Amino acid sequence: MYTIADIRKITDGKFLSGNNSAAVIEHLLIDSRKLLFPASTLFFSLPGPRRQGSAFVQDLYSKGVRNFIVDDSFAFLPQDFEAANIIAVKDVFQALQQLTAQHRSQFHFPVMGITGSNGKTIVKEWLYQLLQHDFNIVRSPKSYNSQIGVPLSVWQMNAQHTLGIFEAGISMPGEMEKLEKVIMPGIGIFTNIGEAHSEGFENIADKINEKVKLFTNSGTVIYCKDEVPVDEAMLLLQQKNNTVLFTWGEDAAATLCISSIQIQPFNTVIKGVFKEKKLSISIPFTNDAAVKNAITCWCVLLLLNIDNELIQERMLQLKPVEMRLELKQGINNCSVINDSYSADITSLSIALDFLQQQQQHPKRTVIISDILQTGKTNAALYQQVADILQQKKINRLIGVGTEIIKYSDAFSGIPETAFFNSTAEFLQKFPAMHFYNESILLKGARLFEFEQISHLLEEKVHQTVLEINLNAITHNLNTYQQLLSPGVKLMAMVKAFSYGSGGFEIANLLQFHKVDYLAVAYADEGVELRKAGITLPIMVMNAEEVTYDVLVQHNLEPELFSFGILSTFEDYLMRNGIQNFPVHIKLDTGMRRLGFEQKDISALCNRLQTTSAFKIQSVFSHLAASDSALHDAFTNAQAKAFLEGCEQIQKITGYKFLRHLANTSAIHRHKNMQYDMIRLGIGLYGVDAGPAIQQQLKNVTTLKTTISQIKNIKAGESIGYNRKGVAAKDSVIATVRIGYADGYPRLLSNGVGTMLVNGKLAPVIGNVCMDMTMLDITRIDAQEGDEVIVFGAALPVSELAASAQSIPYEILTGISQRVKRVYFEE
């Protein structure tokens, strides 16, 4: 533990306010929404793309936080923070890293640092599985490998630990040197080199050299000698620092020389030579990435002098690494968050943050198993768990395990609790338990096999699913936010079921990330969001007279686009004695769809001048071709007409309102049109017409199905309705569980469309059916039940749309509601 006075010295800061220099700090906070223990928390006010961390200091102070690190520019009134300790530093990022580097230096047990383009998290988690019986391990939570994630990971270290395993990821030069000072790994692990995150580097060699800086002070480094550029960089490191290189590969000079890799139906046997002795292991995986990751782990265990017979035994028990939280529809109108693969304090806090984002249900339930091997006494451990659950306002706790049940009294502050000695006992009592209209988090160590519980709680689904990556939505949101001028607000479009991605699930995320406005197409969409706990302002773009009651009841703000709707809504408000109701005025500047035309502005102003029914929140218009340079003159003319209209309306109303014209493409193509607010639509979901921006976005949606049957057919045989598909040669045909009723266009029939089967493109053969589609998988190794990608990162929805003579908007919004949505956060 550190006092705030200690931290001031470590960070070379100065007290702007020092009420209690003896205050003890246990918890570091960088996100004001994730506060757990105010009294012992130190908040680092890091700069963000739109908001400075210092903007949240006042709110945190009101919640009981008393310790802050801010930059030199922070200004405040002393009377507003009388009880606070505020330290000013030149660079808040640097202060966070200085503090955690000092913390790391206090411990002298072995620490491993892992870097590489891929496989860092898998190797870390497998090493944890393989070594947890020999060491008390502290490791990076999830994929915490960034400039912020690494310091927060290292801060977990305490005297009870005997081994540390931390990941380090980079995206540009100069980053790894900072992370090395925080991790200070004695053992280095380089997984592999690939194209991921190459944008900030001139070439692969530059990226390798940057990554190798993690091992500047390492005694030993493990890597694959067959990757020649990596090997060259490591040999230079050895010459400079006398680093011991523990290599593996087919090269005879490798420390562990791999002699054969035998892939079998359900496992892979790997043979090698180490210190002139023939060794082998078997792993329950058959893919190439798993084999390489397992060999890397094998090297680590050999380096630690673990007997190969024991290594063989443990390798056979390796489990897949689930690196994401999944949100699924559950029974009885519940939502189920499945994180039933690990149980520790840090991952529990991460999962609870995700649970807290869910506003669609009034009740939150946590089902948790015993937490194993923390280095704390069980009494202290379960008291901490209880404190965290109470901070997060959990309504019901179900504890499973012989240890948590002993400390059930610690959870007396939770309104509803139940405890079971085992998963089997819980399953036996499940029929008598009631789960209804609640968000349920499953958090269990692997040996408790909580997947049995998830199978009972999750709604049975069609095997065709649309996966939505919530991390990707957050990334895309941040990408556009960084393009905004200071003070520009952001309206996120969540109409049409959030472009097919889901309603309240996406709105919950956007509300958590503090967007300014939401927009829906119809009132019923807005009502559903309000019922799901969404409190953000919501604009309704197609208000209808029959929905005026629910608009007012749920505080939804209609778009007024014609004199007809203006008059009927004004009459409704006046009849009900309502004044200054928030509305949005739509101008038609060239789209020729909805809105008041230029010739209507004068009459509109007269109407607005004579009524007290409305309070104009915004005036906006819609650009017809903002993504096309061919039509820039037209776009500029639209902007000119829009500004003239706004000026007339503002002059007559006498007050300011938000002006918004820019849509997704205009945010970056016409930055001068950002005005007071922008509307972010399909870009949020990973699609942009601009190639440069598209490269920065992450894929959000992946449509998956499975093979239901495989058939061998002879040349000349026909496939499907109307015998439209005919085999040109002897072929292998797979029928997959998706058709036009699911939203797969019939235009993709007869070789027009393709899907990915085990990483290879398979063309559609015959007509797309209502519920099924046939693929030609000749020369593709596949089995019934295998996963098939309809569109996703490797097969973009834009390509599928082009093949179907359509656009991504139509494809995404056309995915049927019978296709279940699965939301995940990595």
Task: Return the active site residues.
Answer: 495, 721
Q: Find, among 681, 328, 659, the residue nearest to 487 by Cα.
A: 659
Report the C-alpha gap between 62 and 81 in whole angstroms: 9
794: tokens are: 């490797």
241 touches 216 (CB < 8 A): yes
Containing 479, the helix (H) or strand (E) segment is helix 470-481
Contact yes or no for 363/395 (Cβ under 8 A):
yes
Which distant-in-sequence residues (6+ apart) come within 8 Å of 787 by Cβ? 704, 705, 706
Task: For residue 458, give Cα distances in angstroms to 90, 230, 359, 455, 506.
Answer: 50, 45, 19, 6, 20
Q: Residue 187 phi/psi, 5° resolution?
A: -115, 125
Q: C-alpha angle 696/700/706, rounded to 5°? A: 135
Which residue type, as a one-letter code, is found at position 30?
A: I
**Cα 681-683-689 angle, rounded to 5 deg:** 115
Query: Could you tell me the maximum CA-CA distance found in the chain, to the nearest angstrom?
Result: 95
**CB atoms closer than 10 angstroms to residue 639:** 22
Give me 16's structure tokens.
């702007």
3-state secondary structure 97-151: HHHHHHHHCCCCCCEEEEECCCCHHHHHHHHHHHHCCCCCEEECCCCCCCCCHHH
Please tell me the distance from the alpha carbon of residue 169 to that of residue 176, in angstroms, as a whole number. 8
Distance CA 766, CA 726 (A): 7
- Sequence-distant (≥ 6) Cβ neighbours of residue 199 within 8 angstroms: 171, 695
Angle between helices 204-212 and 228-241 (to 10 degrees): 40
DSSP secondary structure letters along 543-566: --GGGHHHHHHTT-EEEE-SHHHH
Of 661, 745, 649, which is closest to residue 703 (Cα–Cα)?
745
Residue with tokens 């209808």: 544
Q: Tell me the HSE value of 794 on the side-chain side, using a 13 A CA sphere.
A: 12
Map tokens 């996120």 to a residue. Answer: 492
What residues pair up with 188 in beta bridges, in sequence order?
113, 221
Tell me the HSE value of 50 on the side-chain side, using a 13 A CA sphere: 17
Stated as kind and residue range, the H or E segment containing 820 is: strand 820-825
Dist CA 554 CA 240 (whole Å)? 68
φ and ψ at 154, to 5 degrees?
A: -65, -30
Q: Which residue has the tokens 């093979």?
A: 707
Cβ burial of 565 (10 Å; 0-12, 13-18, 19+) is buried
In 3D space, the residue among 772, 732, 775, 769 whose CA is nearest the CA of residue 751 turns out to be: 775
> Residue 354 corresponds to which tokens in the numbers above?
């995700």
Beta carbons of 616 and 608 less than 8 angstroms apart: yes
Torsions phi, psi of 365, nearest 5?
A: -120, 140
Residues 6+ apart with CB under 8 A from 750: 724, 725, 764, 765, 766, 767
**311, 298 in Cβ contact below 8 A?**
yes
DSSP output for 200-227: TSSSHHHHHHHHHGGGTT-SEEEEETTS
For residue 33, the tally of other CB atoms under 10 A from its CB is 13
Single-letter residue type at 396: R
